[in-house]
Amino acid sequence: MKNRNKTLLLPLNIVRTPNSNLVLLRAVLNKEFTRIDFGYIAIDYYVRGGWIRISSETYLRVKGEQIKYVLTHAENIPIAPEVHHFESTKDWQYFSLFFPPIPQHDCVIDIIEEENPDDNDFNYYGIQLDMSAAEEVIQH
């Protein structure tokens, strides 16, 4: 399960706090990239659900390492300053962020969009990646 040639999928389902309308769904690890899948649910607070985007400086770090794995690209979410406007307060968006490959072993990672975040930024801390819970993906 720890072979770098494999693509590993870790179901995570971690809801952001305190604003629970963002959920980190899965991590996909292989030798070419690290992909993190998210789900975002628009809320009533903003007119027509507001908008979302991701900072180009977003990075991923592995606890105990000094390396910053900086965002390489994103799917289904624009990179700032572009934004995705929702049409209503009942909309939702599934999106993926791609980073350089991280080691395929048990580790704890943080995802940092803003160094000094507010509750709306896409920051996650202390995500445990337990390789024994990983599933191998068959390429298709």
Partner 1 sequence: MPINKKAYRRYKVIDACLRNKMRPFPTIQDLIDAMEEKLDVNTTVDTIQKDIAAMKLPSPDGFDAPIKFNRSKMGYEYTDPDFAISGVSLNSIDIDAIKEAIDIINSIGGSRVSEKFSHAVEKMLSSVREDLSPQARDRKIIQTDAITDARGFEHFDLFFSACRERIPVNFVHYSYSKRKFKTITLHPVVLKEFENRWYVIGHSETHDQLRTFGFDRIYGPEILRKTFIETPAHVSESYLNDVYGVFPLRDGEREQIIIHTSPLITNYFRAQKIHPSQHIQINKYGDALISFELIPSMELARLFISYGNQLKVKAPERLVKFIESYRS
The least CB distance from residue 25 to partner 1, in Å, is 5
The least CB distance from residue 37 to partner 1, in Å, is 6
The least CB distance from residue 128 to partner 1, in Å, is 15
Return residues touching partner 1 (CB under 8 A). 9, 11-13, 23, 25-26, 28, 37, 39, 41, 90, 92, 94, 96, 135-138, 140
**What is the SS3 string spanning the chain?**
CCCCCCEEEEEEEEECCCCCCEEEEEEEECCCCEEEEEEEECCCCCHHHCEECECCCCEEEECCCCCCEECCEEECCCECCCCEECCCCCCEEEEEEEECCCCCCCEEEEEECCCCCCCCCCCEEEEEECHHHCEEECCC
Taking the least distance from each CB to partner 1, the nearer of 60 and 134 is 134
Taking the least distance from each CB to partner 1, the nearer of 61 and 109 is 109
Taking the least distance from each CB to partner 1, the nearer of 22 and 61 is 22
Taking the least distance from each CB to partner 1, the nearer of 66 and 132 is 132
